[in-house]
């Protein structure tokens, strides 16, 4: 086994004290001669000495590392958010540790505990909402934590999210102006999550503005484990079917597209489709899909900026940062006003 080189080894070879080597490593050269700096530099190179980051962090009370906890690292939205986080960290000389939970709240809790034990300077998390007490405990212990993407009860102290309610309102109003009154809102359960409910409220706001009542039969659900509660074909075979599906998440959209394709249901001739979240390689679909697109890269950057601000200033007031969404019109929504 290769011998572990210690600080004292560098000091002895350079013929200086341990504190002088430590000052050199921390960039404190005020009273250090050029000859001394050169001897330490050559000793480090000869011994191939690598400073112990944990030991240094204990002395300096910082690791220059943040943790990121996400539900699915391969997700289209999540991967771009992580890129925004990583790019901002690189510019700020911070390292990033990413933990993937696979939508499991127990794995999320273990990830939080591990990052806390590793003494990261802060955490960015897309929380399940089931570890609120643990998160609050770490925040009260002085660990800055910033939420992103998902807002559960509205009590998250620092959070960066898209403007879900306005985005859903604008999308629904666009469909209404195309003549659609039977708009199927395809969603996951939103009662326990504010960021999902805001989309529903935006949908309702637009219907109300145009004097269209909310038909509960047009609010349909999808579950990650079991899929659609009612199949898209059954919805379209109903007596008063929807003329358009408004899907609220990318997994819902992709599963809907598969289901419609399997039943030879054509978009937009048989039914229109408007999706929340951009679809990978959407331009290559037979019929490009109209979407509300979030800006995950910007969300990642803003979440990191907010976290680093909190790391440098523990007394910074809590912030909720809202990132505007964009609307991309394509060919999947038919004008039925005539």
What pLDDT score was predicted for residue 3?
Answer: 65
165-201 pLDDT, tens digit per residue, is 999 999 999 999 999 999 999 999 877 789 889 999 9
43-75 pLDDT, tens digit per residue, is 888 888 877 665 555 555 678 899 999 999 998
What pLDDT score was predicted for residue 140?
Answer: 92
List Cβ neighbours of 178 (8 Å cut-off, separation of 6 or more).
272, 333, 334, 335, 336, 337
How many angstroms separate the CA atoms of 51 and 39, rounded? 17
Three-state secondary structure string covering the chain: CCCCCCHHHHHHHHCCCHHHHHHHHCCCCCCCCHHHHHHHHHHHHHHCCCCCHHHHHHHHCCCCEEEEEECCCCCHHHHHHHHHHHHHHHHCCCEEEEEECCCCHHHHHHHHHHHHHCCCCEEEECCCCCCHHHHHHHHHCCCCEEEECCCCCCCCCCEEEECHHHHHHHHHHHHHHCCCCCEEEEECCCCCCHHHHHHHHHHHHHHHHCCCCCCHHHEEEEECCCEECCCHHHHHCCCCCCCEEEECCHHHHHHHHHHHHHCCCCCCCCCEEEEECCCCCHHHCCCCCEEEECCHHHHHHHHHHHHHHHHHCCCCCCCEEEECCEEECCCCCCCCCC
What pLDDT score was predicted for residue 78?
Answer: 93
Can you list the residues of the chain whose pLDDT is less than 50? 1
All domains in the chain, ordered by first residue: 7-51 (no CATH), 63-162+296-323 (3.40.50.2300), 164-294 (3.40.50.2300)
pTM of structure: 0.80
What pLDDT score was predicted for residue 56?
Answer: 56
Chain-centre distance for alpha carbon 10 = 43
């Amino acid at each position: 086994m290769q011998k572990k080189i210690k600080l004292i080894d560098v000091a002895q070879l350079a013929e200086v004290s341990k504190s002088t080597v430590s000052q050199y490593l921390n960039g404190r050269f005020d009273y250090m001669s050029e000859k001394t700096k050169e001897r330490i530099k050559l000793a480090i190179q000869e011994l191939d000495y690598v400073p112990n980051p944990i030991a240094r962090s204990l002395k300096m009370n910082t690791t220059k590392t943040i943790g990121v906890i996400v539900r699915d690292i391969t997700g289209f939205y999540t991967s771009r958010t992580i890129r925004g986080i990583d790019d901002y960290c690189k510019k700020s000389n911070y390292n990033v540790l990413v933990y993937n939970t696979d939508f499991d709240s127990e794995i999320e809790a273990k990830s939080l505990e591990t990052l806390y034990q590793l003494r990261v300077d802060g955490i960015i998390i897309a929380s399940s909402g089931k570890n609120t007490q643990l998160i609050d405990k770490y925040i009260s212990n002085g660990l800055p934590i910033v939420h992103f993407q998902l807002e559960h009860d509205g009590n998250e102290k620092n959070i960066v999210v898209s403007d879900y309610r306005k985005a859903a309102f604008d999308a629904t109003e666009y469909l209404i102006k195309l003549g659609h009154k039977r708009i199927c809102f395809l969603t996951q359960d939103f009662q326990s999550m504010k960021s999902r409910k805001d989309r529903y409220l935006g949908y309702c706001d637009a219907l109300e503005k145009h004097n269209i009542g909310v038909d509960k039969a047009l609010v349909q659900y999808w579950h990650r484990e079991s899929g659609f509660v009612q199949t898209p074909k059954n919805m379209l075979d109903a007596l008063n079917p929807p003329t358009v599906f408004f899907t609220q998440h990318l997994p819902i959209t992709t599963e809907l597209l598969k289901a419609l394709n399997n039943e030879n249901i054509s978009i937009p001739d048989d039914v229109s489709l408007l999706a929340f979240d951009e679809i990978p390689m959407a331009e290559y679909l037979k019929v490009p899909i109209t979407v509300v697109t979030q800006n995950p890269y910007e969300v990642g950057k803003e979440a990191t900026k907010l976290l680093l601000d909190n790391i440098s200033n523990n007394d910074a007031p809590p912030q909720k940062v809202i990132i505007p969404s964009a609307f991309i019109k394509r060919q999947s929504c038919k004008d039925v006003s005539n």
